[in-house]
């Protein structure tokens, strides 16, 4: 290695010059894929293309070879300088790569590995279009693909308020009631509340981590993560032992967006990481919802920003389920009845013109309503039958239970 | 008139059979228009078409004539039965129609009348496309058309919360700071708070009433309306003395939507009348904003309903002004700087891999970051120059002011 302060070598000098014999596991395509999940970061699309073009085993062979990169070996779309830099990058993790040890570690915890093509591989990952993980490391009793089929990511700020946590939990409960899975990132705040809500309701929940599934991050969520692993699913694309790093969180967010039928942000500051999950979901053309909050709350600023960017306003689990099911928002439910509902324009005009206190003649009511006098009496009789008008010696007035002058005006 | 209980005459029997001599004022086109604003309700599109087709004076002559309606007199699009019913309706108010008296009444209060074609007639009314008022009765020192040029309707629930009233006022203040007018309906709650906010800031405000401009509705807003009439504008399309009725509120709402550059609902229950204003504004292809609030607040349900129906989420006066000016929402302002802003992917990868506590070698940091070892030292020197990395005998670690592990992760 060059000491700090020495002149910097360029990418072109960073050739893998070790040329080792491949270990036994490198002959197994599944184990080779697991090795790649250790050798490269989730964001490394050069690694993804390199492995996709050659197969995991052959890609490992090339990595172990001391031959300089030639233009001839580049596949369509590959560039020699990217390949050269990639081989140098991946080689830096060669020594610590041991997929058999990783697999043991996860299996000891009751976990497993799910690869593309396995029945548990979530369909949504195909949306990543070349950015799919090499492998998913999974703990928990649920069937991963089935759990993702009808699911919503419920994500948001770590610095959530009681409002946000309560809502996250109640959305998770409502999703569970409808048999849908709550996906989240196990972070403090909204994420944790969503998982907890689901667990409390015995509803399915899935935590996607930015670190290995054998680790608890944040540490204070150790018990929560254990519970999710026991009753739901804990998933990661980085191998056991991996620590959480900023870009792993961003990459984790793309997994959340891809496996969930819809993504909902419950609370988010102006620059919350959960906005990245929402943005990635939008990129994947997955429905994105945002829960509004007081405009005076910094914890809702990100949600309002999302709403301005085209997210759908969701206020409860039913509206989140509409996103999950791809149903158009139903804006006309929960309408309470009013005495004058169902009246036609003529009846409404007469009803409006009825005096509330002192009765008036039908003729006078016609003038007030701007109607022809002969048209009014039959309408008054009709309103009377509906219990909306009452007749006295002085004429007609609004029936007490139909009264509410000004109460529904503006 | 037929007594209640007698058999109902149909529209076809309700002929105007009075055949009076027209009063002197009926020869004046302006006064004739004012007469029509008394004879018919704002919603009466048959009256609007009848007068538009003939001119106000000739329309009055026809109303005063005892001749039965003939197919021959119907203009294109008119139907005899509608005309017959219309004449019967309008005749019911003949006795109480006196535009000279109405004009006197408003002028005594320092008011005036604005008709289509007058310089003060707001351009936006043309959007009503045949539903324009016959006349506007106006009180106040501002120039009506100019006040409407850059304006926002700030409307909402009568049953507003402190949150809604505070926001309505602060939006009105912000609109005023930018020289824009706050239009509202002078109702209790949000409307009143909007007017009050504007008045307090010396900003222009316009109240559109559902009753005559000589009346105060709601009665508790008598002082507020007087202040608006003294410093802003009070406007109505119904003549002085007219009382507020449900359908007049709905018709008033269409005026608010038409004269305002944009409409914003601050708080609204699920069935608030302010939703009609927003719906009408949408029909007129005017921008519509809604202020979000807690999903637990019934006073924000209508706003969330609007957001789901396509209204734009607005959280402060600046965002309302964007609607007024027709500017696309700027979703990326107010971004506070972070230490790692401006780093490229390579720099960010090294920054993320820097240990926070115990320094590590550049080689070890390369493994953590998944980078080729030779690439890391120059980046570390660069981060050091930016004050993000610090070097010690043991190697490199994150510089104290750049530290914030986990603080901006998820």
Q: What is the DSSP string of A66-128?
A: -PPP-GGGPPTT--HHHHHHHHHHHHTTGGG--HHHHHHHHHHTT-EEE-TTSTTS-GGGGGG
Is A396 a member of any domain? Answer: yes
Interface confidence: ipTM more than 0.90: no
Is B330 a member of any domain? Answer: no
B337 touches A at CB < 8 Å: no
Task: Say which range, A186-195, B271-280, B322-331, has the weakest mean pLDDT.
Answer: B322-331
From first to last of its 410 residues, what are the pLDDT tens digits of chain A? 333 333 333 333 444 445 567 899 999 999 999 999 999 999 999 999 999 999 999 999 999 998 999 999 999 888 999 999 999 999 999 999 999 999 999 999 999 999 999 999 999 999 999 999 999 999 999 999 999 999 999 999 999 999 999 999 999 999 999 999 999 999 999 999 999 999 999 999 999 999 999 999 999 999 999 999 999 999 999 999 999 988 899 999 999 999 999 999 999 999 888 999 999 999 999 999 999 999 999 999 999 999 999 999 999 999 999 999 987 554 434 444 566 777 888 888 898 888 888 889 999 899 888 888 899 999 999 999 888 898 888 899 888 753 433 334 33
B242 touches A at CB < 8 Å: no
The Cα angle at residue B236 between residues B232 and B241, in degrees rounded to 5: 115
Do B113 and B254 lie in one domain? The reply is yes
Give A235's strand partners. A138, A208
Which residue, among A374, A1, A184, A304, has the nearest Cα to B330 in the 3D structure? A304
DSSP assignment of A331-369: TT-SPPP-TTTT--HHHHHHHHHS-SSS-B-HHHHHHHH
The Cα angle at residue A38 between residues A35 and A41, in degrees rounded to 5: 130
B310 touches A at CB < 8 Å: no
- Are the C-beta atoms of residues A157 and A299 closer than 8 Å to each other? yes
Q: Identify the domain boundary among B325, B357, B385.
A: B325
Do B133 and B223 lie in one domain? The reply is yes
DSSP, collapsed to helix, strand or coil, labels residue A264 as strand
Distance CA B104, CA B281 (A): 34
Q: Measure A149 CA to nearest chain B CA, in Å.
A: 24
* Residue ranges of B 110-149 with Cβ closer than 8 A to chain A: none
Do A199 and A311 lie in one domain? The reply is yes
* Residue B19's pLDDT band (cuts 50, 70, 90): low
Distance CA A297, CA A35 (A): 45
A393 touches B at CB < 8 Å: no
Distance CA B298, CA B278 (A): 18
Distance CA B295, CA B317 (A): 22
Q: What are phi and psi of A233, to 5 degrees?
A: -145, 140
Q: Measure B362 CA to nearest chain A CA, in Å.
A: 8
Which residue, among A393, A120, A152, has the nearest Cα to A287 in the 3D structure? A152
Q: Number of residue pairs across A and B with CB atoms under 8 Å?
A: 247
Is B90 a member of any domain? Answer: yes
A17 touches B at CB < 8 Å: no
Distance CA B275, CA B308 (A): 13
Q: Identify the domain boundary among A325, A360, A381.
A: A325
Name the domain count of chain B.
Answer: 3
B264 contact residues in A (CB cutoff 8 A)? none
Asked whether the predicted pLDDT for residue B100 surpasses 80, the reply is yes
Distance CA B349, CA A42 (A): 12
The Cα angle at residue A313 between residues A307 and A316, in degrees rounded to 5: 145
| Cβ-based burial of B112 (10 A; exposed 0-12, middle 13-18, buried ≥19) | middle
Is B206 a member of any domain? Answer: yes
Contacts of B310 (CB under 8 A, 6+ apart): B282, B288
B165 touches A at CB < 8 Å: no
* Residue ranges of A 38-57 with Cβ closer than 8 A to chain B: 39-41, 44
Contacts of A148 (CB under 8 A, 6+ apart): A122, A123, A124, A181, A183, A206, A259, A260, A261
Asked whether the predicted pLDDT for residue B360 surpasses 70, the reply is yes
Is A3 a member of any domain? Answer: no
Is B120 a member of any domain? Answer: yes
User: A138: which DSSP letter?
Assistant: E
| Residue A375's CATH number | 1.10.10.10
For chain B, the average pLDDT equals 89
Residue with tokens 């999302």: A306
Average pLDDT over residues B149-161: 96
| Cβ-based burial of B386 (10 A; exposed 0-12, middle 13-18, buried ≥19) | middle
- In 10 A of CB B1, how many CB atoms? 13
Do B244 and B389 lie in one domain? The reply is no
Cα torsion angle, B254, B255, B261, B262, sign: negative
How much is the pLDDT for A179?
Answer: 96
- Are the C-beta atoms of residues A25 and A31 closer than 8 Å to each other? yes
Do A90 and A124 lie in one domain? The reply is no
Q: What is the dihedral of CA B391, A212, A248, A307, to 10 degrees?
A: -140
- Are the C-beta atoms of residues B382 and B346 closer than 8 Å to each other? no
Do A286 and A149 lie in one domain? The reply is yes
How much is the pLDDT for A1?
Answer: 37
Q: What are phi and psi of B189, to 5 degrees?
A: 80, -130
B329 contact residues in A (CB cutoff 8 A)? 308-309
How much is the pLDDT for A8?
Answer: 38
Q: Measure A72 CA to nearest chain B CA, in Å.
A: 23
Q: Which domain holds residue B361?
A: 345-402
Do B321 and B358 lie in one domain? The reply is no
Among the partner-chain residues A40, A335, A381, the one whose CB lies closest to the CB of B4 is A381
Percent of chain B with pLDDT over 70: 90
Do B206 and B124 lie in one domain? The reply is yes
Which residue, among B278, B354, B301, B14, has the nearest Cα to B164 in the 3D structure? B301
Distance CA A144, CA A138 (A): 8
How much is the pLDDT for B401?
Answer: 58
Do A304 and A390 lie in one domain? The reply is no
| Residue B273's CATH number | 3.40.50.450
Distance CA A34, CA A226 (A): 24
Is A278 a member of any domain? Answer: yes
Do A152 and A55 lie in one domain? The reply is no
B191-244 pLDDT tens trace: 999 999 999 999 999 999 999 999 999 999 999 999 999 999 999 999 999 999
- In 10 A of CB B262, how many CB atoms? 27
- Best of B194, B372, B388, B402 to disrupt the A interface (most A CBs within 10 Å) is B372
User: A183: which DSSP letter?
Assistant: E
The DSSP H or E segment spanning A5 is none
How much is the pLDDT for B328?
Answer: 55
- Are the C-beta atoms of residues B397 and B355 closer than 8 Å to each other? yes
Number of residues written out for chain B = 410
Asked whether the predicted pLDDT for residue B59 surpasses 60, the reply is yes
Six token digits for residue B10: 């149909």
A363 touches B at CB < 8 Å: yes
Q: Identify the domain boundary among A291, A325, A359.
A: A325
CA atoms within 13 A on the CB side of A406: 11
Asked whether the predicted pLDDT for residue B269 surpasses 50, the reply is yes
Do A278 and A358 lie in one domain? The reply is no
Which residue, among A77, A75, A72, A43, has the nearest Cα to A59 in the 3D structure? A75
- Asked if omega into B93 is within 30° of 0 (cis), the reply is no
How much is the pLDDT for B337?
Answer: 56
Is B278 a member of any domain? Answer: yes
Are B410 and A185 inside 8 Å of each other by CB? yes
Are B292 and A292 inside 8 Å of each other by CB? yes
Distance CA B306, CA B288 (A): 9
DSSP, collapsed to helix, strand or coil, labels residue A161 as coil
Do B318 and B215 lie in one domain? The reply is yes
Task: Say which range, A74-83, B116-125, B342-351, B374-383, has the weakest mean pLDDT.
Answer: B342-351
């Amino acid at each position: 290695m060059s000491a700090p302060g020495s002149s910097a070598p360029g990418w072109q000098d960073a050739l893998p010059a070790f040329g080792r014999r491949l270990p036994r596991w490198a002959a197994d395509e599944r184990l080779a894929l697991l090795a790649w999940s250790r050798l490269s970061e989730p964001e490394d699309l050069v690694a993804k293309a390199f492995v996709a073009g050659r197969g995991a085993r052959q890609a490992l062979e090339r990595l172990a070879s001391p031959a300089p990169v030639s233009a001839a070996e580049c596949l369509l779309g590959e560039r020699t300088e990217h390949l050269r830099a990639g081989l140098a990058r991946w080689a830096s993790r060669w020594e610590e790569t041991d997929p058999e040890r990783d697999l043991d570690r996860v299996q000891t915890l009751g976990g497993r590995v799910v690869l593309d093509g396995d029945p548990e591989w979530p369909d949504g990952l195909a949306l990543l279009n070349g950015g799919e993980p090499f492998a998913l490391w999974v703990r928990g009793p649920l069937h991963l693909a089935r759990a993702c089929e009808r699911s919503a990511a419920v994500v948001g700020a770590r610095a959530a308020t009681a409002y946000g946590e309560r809502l996250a939990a109640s959305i998770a409960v409502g999703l569970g009631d409808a048999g849908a899975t709550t996906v989240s990132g196990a972070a403090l705040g909204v994420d944790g509340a969503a998982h907890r809500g689901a667990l409390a309701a015995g509803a399915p929940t899935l935590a996607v981590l930015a670190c290995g599934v054998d680790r608890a991050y944040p540490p204070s969520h150790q018990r929560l993560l254990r519970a999710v692993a026991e009753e739901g699913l804990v998933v990661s694309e980085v191998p056991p032992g991996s620590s959480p790093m900023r870009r792993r969180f961003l990459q984790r967010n793309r997994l959340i967006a891809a496996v969930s039928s819809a993504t909902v942000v419950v609370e988010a500051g102006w620059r919350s990481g959960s906005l990245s999950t929402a943005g990635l979901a939008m990129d994947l053309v997955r429905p994105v919802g945002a829960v509004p909050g007081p405009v005076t709350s910094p914890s809702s600023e990100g949600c309002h920003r999302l709403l301005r960017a085209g997210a759908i306003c969701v206020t409860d689990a039913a509206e989140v389920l509409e996103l999950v099911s791809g149903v158009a928002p139903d804006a006309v439910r929960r309408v309470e009845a009013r005495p004058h509902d169902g009246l036609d324009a003529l009846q409404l005009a007469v009803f409006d013109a009825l005096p509330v206190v002192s009765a008036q003649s039908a003729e006078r009511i016609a003038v007030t309503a701007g109607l022809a006098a002969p048209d009014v009496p039959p309408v008054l009789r009709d309103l009377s039958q509906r219990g909306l008008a009452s007749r006295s010696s002085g004429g007609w007035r609004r029936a007490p239970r139909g009264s509410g002058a000004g109460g529904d005006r503006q």
